[in-house]
A and B are shown apart, each in its own frame.
Chain A
Amino acid sequence: MNILVSAASSLAPSGYASLSSKILADNGPELPSLNDFLPPEIIFAGTPFAINRIMLVRMVATVVILLVLGITAARAKVIPGRWQGAVEWVLGFVRDNIVYQILGELRGKKYVPMITTMFMTILVFNLCGVIPGANIAATATIAMPLVFALWTLVQYWAAGISAHGLGGFLKEELFPAGVPWPVYILLTPIQLLEIILIRPFSLTLRLFANMLSGHLLVAITLAMSNYYLIELQSTAMKAVGAVWFLGGFALTGFEIFVAALQAFIFCILSCVYINQSLGEE
């Protein structure tokens, strides 16, 4: 350790990059890994109701959403205050820019509660990844996105069946009109796979992998800055640490953006799938 520090202080700034990577290879900081997403159980361990940190984050986040929305709704006034205005803006955004934009006002009315629930839950769960104390996106394990994707799956099957009947829905999805019949040999299995497997799977994977990679990025930059600025007591390496720290800030901002974007995309795609099942009008 002492040898490294003296070597660091004696080197010119040009050798920074190579030196910092050399120090890293010799005694690296504690980097985040996939084990972050498999934390130990903290209560009811060993039973089917075992709860770990991520589930606790989910529960707290759910309670927070319910409390905030419930209190805002209970105190709603005709002339909205600043807070009520903000909440109404979010709800209005989901209704107008997501549901009505894709499904249209007439058909979309039924799906506004579902999509609003999805949007708020996914948004808050995603934002848990940058909230200090939680520090992990509640959607970053595969279970939570899978639940939402299965909900979408059920909804677009139900929409299709109620609009065309089971046979009509399958005929519309599996044998799209205007295609020469030999193409069906190729197209039908792909379409079948698409409506059963690929759609929910891709919805799940997108949200889950985005949150997982986002957490790893932020955690790596902050672990590196902690290592260079504090643990490695060398003034020469402080600049490297500062760069990592700045990167951590930038990536945290980027994570907030991704959290909102992923919630938006999940809801948009749910609407698109439902719209496809309902068919053209």
Chain B
Amino acid sequence: MDFVTLAEVAGNISVLGYGIAALGPAIGLGIMFGKALESTARQPEASGKLNVIMYIGLAIIEVLALLGFVAFMMAR
């Protein structure tokens, strides 16, 4: 195995694209869950309401990551 074949990328470059597409939503989800945890710790009696809002946020952020996944599937 020489250096040229070592450096050769096999497969589809859209895999990389999906990795990048998952990055933004991942950061968003992290911030959202962190904030939800923080507010629940501050006000435990509001946790029911906060949970519902959190799931709505989760759904809206998640669809961005899934857009990347679908685009990756379509590009094949």
Contact = CB atoms under 8 A, between A and B. Distances in A.
Bound pair (A, B): yes
Contacts of A269: 56, 59
Interface residues of B, number: 16
A101 B46 CA distance: 13
A205 B59 contact: no
Interface string A90-108: 0000000000011000000
A209 B76 CA distance: 16
A27 to B, nearest CB: 15
Contacts of A202: 60, 63
Interface residues of A, number: 15
Contacts of B33: none
Interface of A: 34, 101-102, 202, 205-206, 209-210, 212-213, 264-265, 268-269, 272
B63 A264 contact: no
B73 A34 contact: yes
Contacts of B58: 265
Interface in B37-72: 48-49, 52, 55-56, 58-60, 62-63, 66-67, 69-70
A243 B25 CA distance: 29
A243 B66 CA distance: 27
Contacts of A101: 48-49, 52
Contacts of A212: 73
A205 B56 contact: no
Q: Interface centre among B60, B66, B73, by most A CB within 10 Å?
A: B66
Given A34-B73, A101-B48, A205 B55 contact: no
A123 to B, nearest CB: 15
B56 A213 contact: no
A206 B70 contact: no
A213 B55 contact: no
Given A34-B73, A101-B52, A102-B52, A265 B66 contact: no
